[in-house]
Chains A and B, each alone.
Chain A
Amino acid sequence: MMDIDLYTFTVIVGLACVTVLARGFFLISRTSWNLPHWAQRGLQYAPIAALAAVVLPEVVMTQGHLVGTWQDARLFAAAAGAAAYFWRKDVLVTILAGMAVFLPLHLGLGW
């Protein structure tokens, strides 16, 4: 419970450094500079791509394979969560609506 393995510890410290680097990116150097144009445009698309690349496999895959059945609580919970977001524009509502679908299906029906 209170154990920390070296791998996870290194990841956590590394992610803290990533937070410092990202939030302080343009605050480090005194000389004023700008990102190249292609990188500025890339900033538009990379964050949402990173999230989707992490999220979709977590929703539609089990043990490295695409889910073979539609009886999976995650599919319905993710759809409900996304719909709730577009309804209320609130991340908290997304989580609550998603879990309200997830828990009955997962615990009640064993999906």
Chain B
Amino acid sequence: MFFRRAHYSHPAFREGVRDLSGMAPGIAAWGLMTGVAMVKSGMSVAESLLMALIVFAGSSQLAAIPLIIAGAPIWIILATGFCVNLRFVVFSLHLRPYLMHLPLWERLTHGYFTADLSYVLFTRRFAHPATEPAERLAQDAYLSGNCFLNWMSWVSASVVGVTLANFIPPAWGLGFAGILCLIGILCGLATTRLRLLSAAVAGVAAVATFALPLKLNILVAIAAAVILCLTMEDRFASSASNQQAS
């Protein structure tokens, strides 16, 4: 990763940085907004900074905020965070052949730092895993450079956002920006009819079962939506019009 000399002194590292630089302002804006949203939703400055620094996953951070404020049980928040993060499980399967030559802790640090954009850029730049040691090093260095700028943009913007939020009156309700951000991500995921159905069922179920203790309504809603969609998928599996998402 980017703290290793073999990686940051490699020419491919700079290439990775350069490829991500066009997207850094977008990442920074998102980090800034997440920073503001965390503080304005009622988390302390120290908690917000710690979250931005170590969780490093915007959508699960934003999804966790209302649950933390409601005092939901920890396991419910972690389960929700994991569901929101499930796309990374798919990414890690794709990255496996690129990274398996590394020792375990390096695989895990590479995985940890590879967020959405780094994954997309890396797999676009290297369509196939390297087979030679020199090629492998170049791929590792490229990914490291990519992740370095991504992480730097995210963390520094989050810190600025957390600081700025202190000067904004709570009455403005800027915490709602976090919900709007989740709405944007949600719309981006709604690529098939069944996924749209999943969102609709989960949303309605979460509202309908809101009175359940321990914020269980979130898990009930996810389970209901997934089970219903899998059943619908089975029912329409024979029809040729069945849309398969990527």
Contacts and interface: CB of A to CB of B under 8 A. Distances in A.
Contacts of B207: 56-57, 60-61, 66
B125 interface: no
A1 interface: yes
B199 A98 contact: no
Interface string B152-194: 0000000000000010000111101101111111111110101
A73 to B, nearest CB: 8
Interface string A72-111: 0110011001100110011111110011001100110000
Interface residues of B, number: 97
Interface residues of A, number: 75
B120 interface: no
B8 interface: no
Contacts of B173: 73, 102, 106
A76 B180 CA distance: 11
A66 B114 CA distance: 39
A44 B214 CA distance: 26
Interface of A: 1-5, 7-28, 30, 32, 34, 38, 41-61, 64, 66, 73-74, 77-78, 81-82, 85-86, 89-95, 98-99, 102-103, 106-107
27 contacts: A1-B46, A2-B45, A9-B47, A13-B54, A15-B55, A15-B77, A16-B56, A24-B112, A25-B92, A28-B104, A32-B96, A45-B198, A48-B202, A51-B84, A52-B203, A53-B203, A54-B63, A57-B66, A59-B179, A78-B180, A81-B180, A82-B183, A85-B188, A92-B30, A95-B181, A102-B173, A102-B176
